[in-house]
Chain A
Amino acid sequence: MEEQKIKEAYKELAKIVGEQYVSKDKEDLMPYARDEVSQAFKTYLADLVVAPGTVEEIQEVLRLCNRIKLPVYPYAYGVSISSTALPRVGGLMLVLRRLDRILEINDETHTATIEPGVTWSKLFFEAKKKKLEPLGLGGGPHSGSLIGNFVLGGGNTGGIDINEEVACEVVLPDGEVMWTGSAGMKGHEKLNPWCRVGYGMNLTGVFHGSLGTYGVVTKVLRRLYPLRNIEERIQIGFDSFENCLKGMKDLVDLGISKQVYGVNGVQAAMIAADSEIIHDPVAYEAFEKTFPEFLIVDKISCYNERQQKVYRELIQETAGRYGGETVSYSGTTQDALSELWDGSSSVAIRYLRHNPHLMAFGMLPPSMLPGLREITKKIMNELDYELTSFSNKVIEHPRCWISPWERNESYLFEQEMEFVPEDPESVRKFLAFQKRYYEESAKYGSSQINAGFLKRMEPLMWPGYMKIIRGVKELLDPNNIMAPKQMLKDV
């Protein structure tokens, strides 16, 4: 962008937010130029970064951007590990971290009204004081933003986030503020924002996964769940992927669980290992072997011991049909696993700890997941793409997460495809894998949650589908200032 335009924009932005909260120094821009995955591809350098402190300031910023045609890339708290908050054509990084209030935790409706700077750890901590919790899924970074996850489209690692948002407030690209759901009627954002589907349509869903291309989500009403007298996490080990999936399906069918999800053994080991053992390959290999092939958790929430006893028996009987056995560990290993199953936790983020990686996703019914796993293995073999763990031994399958999308119609399956950023050969294989994986997984039937995939998937989509996606963009953002090229190739 021309130097003069940047200078003028800087002056205007400083008037809106104060000089302290705007910068054009390259040192302040570089940290937003790449994320964990994008370091294998390109760097994208913004021209300016701004951190407004109020919704009104965001409105002013967007009006300015519209006036001077300045691309703007919203960034919630600032954890992007899937290349979806990168300033792809330069312009302005809009950092929303200063809006970090939990405006309300409502005892009656079991909802929290939060701003973009509210992290998972913050909401968990504050909700717990009222005996409530958000339903997060293991693997979500405690340092990530709930609204960031909402706009990304997946939520926590896992996918059940889709139904967790009741309503949201959005600053549209022209600076106008609107609410969705029942708060879609003016004034009802205060009177009654708690009905998710207001006036026929689910407009909250329009902004879910929109990657900031339709506006800036500034508030979300998110569901919370009661913490009952007994909250138990029952760990069950399985000896194969197939048995794990069959067991998981039946456990979901039981309908008594707060959440069911799981990881393979290599993933569990990497998350549970403490900081010492990961530096000792021999000890780590032995540690890794203490985990079953697959480890899942069934979270139950009970009023009393009688209920807990019945639930336990039902779960053990159901998992037992497929060889599933309850397992427990001791010391720091169990501490780490307990924290992992707690939803969004600090140990969960340890799944990032070995090497940078791409989350190779698949969204399929449980019976189709083994097929997807074999496709992954086939591509890896053909590319001679090897993955290791801290034992330095090659692992047969990538580390993975499995989580039912609320019910059994679709499971999220995430495989961690690692690469070494400073090794060009490793990066080459990683890029080749990525291209093949998304082509072949789509042919197999897998879908993707991240709207960023539309860039490459558009030719395969129904024309009407894309007409809506593009139509909304054109309607709301005729000057195409909001996150250009984040979702689509051209706008």
Chain B
Amino acid sequence: MSERKPIKIADEIKPFSGYKEDIYNCMKCGACRVAVRQSLPSCPAGNKHVFDSYYSIGRMEIARSIMEGDLEWNENTAKRFFNCALCGSCDNHCDYVNGTFSPMEVFLMMRRELVNRGLGPLPSQRPLVESVEQYNNPFAKKERGKNLPFKAKTVDRNTDVLFYVGCALEFDPTSSFITKESTELMNKAGVNWGILKGEEVCCGLPVLELGYEDLFAKLARKNIETINKSGVKTIVTACTGCMSAMNRDWSRYGELDAEVMHITEFADRLIKDGQVKIKGSYNKRVTIHDPCQLGRFNGIYEEPRDILRAIPGVEFREMERHHEEAYCCGAGGGLIALDPEWTAQTATERLQEALACGAEAMVIPSCPTCYLNFDMALHGYAGAVKLYEAVWAKVPAAAKFMGIAHKLSSPFMKMRKTVDIEVLDEIQLLNRVV
């Protein structure tokens, strides 16, 4: 036990400058741990690791203890701050209860500082960053726009819509079909669209979340410059992460002269404007998973639901945790690179919640990270992940992250299905009925 020392924290002490009030404002109410009006937990990291140090309440205490000199920066700090999906659930609860600060901003500050000190990110997250540094994408791919599963023109001043493909949707074999579905829908609606092809670089969100602000800034500036030069006024992307980076984070490094839309927002508009006609039906009980980047960070909840409401035969069911309270699939914040076994377990819990509400199908408003993770969970990949670890150890570092998707999408594994529910991308479902 130690006597309380007078707290002497100068405002200019880095990296806490600007975060002091946030850190002291944690009331230790524990609202970050529990879904507000439901019976289920809200924090994937705390749910797994149990100790408070993996919940917002504990991480804020760790930050405060470092700030006051009671703890040191070390590898243990890194473990607590990088074992987090950055799903924003604690932020949402904190805002609802306290309305005064954002734990997520503190987490990101801590991650940046851990990177500055050479303590972060964690070893299995580093290949992702190295790949972005080297290739401008996290999949160690040298060229872009070469093997896309759809035909596209390069965007120019006469193009109405830029379809921003995104790294995962181009290179991850499990979720790349979503681009095909998205472009197919736009073609059916007669949208005049194009892509950046080789000019597109990563949106930067994966490295931003891992604490690499400078690298993120470089990518954001490059994207803004390219897109503004193209003259396009509407950007549509089928990746929630890309959409979120464009809407929330790029503005720190430049002004984008275009409106950004997620494909489900765009599709909803196409339906409501009559450009997309629904002819078929889907006669199932359907629920929806709200991806964190789409819902909590950008407030897009109703458009994906409106699409489902527009499809005849769909009997819509909400899961216990939905909208702002939706449980993260577990894959965000760099966790899918850190511990895919855990992320798939988290997704399995979410699938069980979907089953519990009586759904026969769960729809994901296009998100490659959620889709990959749910696909892993659905087919029981989680248990197999460890088998690949030995293989990955021999693979060049930058290829490791890419390896997850490739290895796990093996046809052999596809034969197994551990949760009896259909998981669909929302545009994939829409294409079935238009």
Contacts and interface: CB of A to CB of B under 8 A. Distances in A.
Looking at A42, A78, A98, A126, the one whose CB has the most chain B CB atoms below 10 A away is A78
A45 B52 CA distance: 14
Interface string A139-177: 001111000000000000000000000000000000000
A446 B256 CA distance: 64
Interface string A266-292: 000000011110110000000000000
Interface string B24-35: 100111110111
B37 A125 contact: yes
A491 interface: no
Interface string B231-246: 0000000000000000
Contacts of B31: 141-143, 346, 349
B412 interface: no
B39 A126 contact: yes
A490 interface: no
Given A51-B51, A353-B99, A422-B24, A31 B58 contact: yes
A122 B28 contact: no
A95 interface: yes
A40 interface: yes
B62 A30 contact: yes
A26 interface: yes
A77 B42 CA distance: 14
B1 interface: yes
Interface in A341-377: 346-347, 349-350, 352-353, 356
B393 interface: no
A49 B99 contact: no
A451 to B, nearest CB: 20
B96 interface: yes
A349 B35 CA distance: 13
A97 B71 CA distance: 25
Nearest to A26: B71
Interface in B9-46: 9, 20, 24, 27-31, 33-40
Interface string B50-93: 11110001100110010000110000110110000000000001
Contacts of B410: none
A329 interface: no
A80 interface: yes
B7 A143 contact: no
B53 A28 contact: yes
A79 interface: yes
A343 B352 CA distance: 29
Interface in A3-40: 20-21, 23, 25-28, 30-36, 39-40
Contacts of B394: none
Interface string A414-426: 0000000110100
B147 interface: no
A257 interface: no
Contacts of B100: 275, 278, 353
B95 A275 contact: yes
Interface size class of A (residues with CB under 8 A): 35 or more
B279 interface: no
Contacts of B152: none
A491 to B, nearest CB: 16
A434 B99 CA distance: 28
B30 A144 contact: yes
B2 A43 contact: yes
Contacts of B39: 119, 121-123, 125-126
Given A49-B51, A79-B29, A352-B29, A119 B4 contact: no
B50 A31 contact: no
Given A350-B98, A353-B97, A143 B34 contact: yes
Contacts of B9: 422
A49 B36 CA distance: 27
B29 A125 contact: no
A352 B6 CA distance: 23
Indicate the size class of the contact surface on chain B.
35 or more
Contacts of A45: 1-2
A51 B28 CA distance: 19
A322 interface: no
B273 interface: no
B255 to A, nearest CB: 26
Contacts of B2: 42-43, 45
Contacts of A43: 1-2, 4, 70
A276 B4 CA distance: 34
B27 A95 contact: no
Interface string A58-86: 00000000000000000001111100000
Interface in A230-276: 273-276
B65 A42 contact: no
Contacts of A80: 28
Nearest to A22: B51
A44 interface: yes
Contact of A42 (B3, B35, B49, B52): B3
Contacts of B33: 77-78, 143
A119 B34 contact: yes
B1 A89 contact: yes
A144 B40 CA distance: 13
A40 B100 CA distance: 21
A279 B51 CA distance: 33
A98 B100 CA distance: 30
Contacts of B35: 121
Nearest to B76: A27
B1 A90 contact: yes
Interface centre among A40, A347, A350 (most CB of B within 10 A): A350
B33 to A, nearest CB: 6
A41 interface: yes
A388 to B, nearest CB: 14
Contacts of A51: 50-51
Nearest to A120: B34
Contacts of A276: 99
B97 to A, nearest CB: 5
Contact of B99 (A25, A275, A422): A275
Nearest to B61: A31
A279 B95 CA distance: 12
Contacts of A31: 51-53, 57-58, 61-62
Interface string B129-163: 00000000000000000000000000000000000
A27 B98 contact: no
B99 A274 contact: yes
A346 B62 contact: no
B34 A422 contact: no
A88 interface: yes
A430 B53 CA distance: 29
A17 B190 CA distance: 61
B7 A142 contact: no
A304 B306 CA distance: 37
A141 B29 contact: yes
Contacts of B7: 421-422, 424
Contacts of A98: 50
Nearest to B48: A20
A430 to B, nearest CB: 12
A30 B23 CA distance: 14
B1 A42 contact: yes
6 contacts: A78-B33, A95-B51, A121-B34, A122-B38, A275-B99, A346-B96
Interface of B: 1-4, 6-7, 9, 20, 24, 27-31, 33-40, 49-53, 57-58, 61-62, 65, 70-71, 76-77, 79-80, 93, 95-100
10 closest A-B pairs (Cβ-Cβ)?
A275-B99, A31-B58, A31-B52, A122-B39, A143-B30, A125-B39, A346-B36, A79-B30, A352-B27, A31-B61
Given A39-B4, A42-B4, A122-B39, 19 more contacts: A27-B79, A31-B57, A35-B28, A36-B28, A43-B70, A45-B2, A49-B51, A78-B52, A122-B34, A126-B39, A143-B30, A279-B99, A349-B97, A350-B99, A352-B97, A353-B98, A421-B7, A422-B20, A422-B24
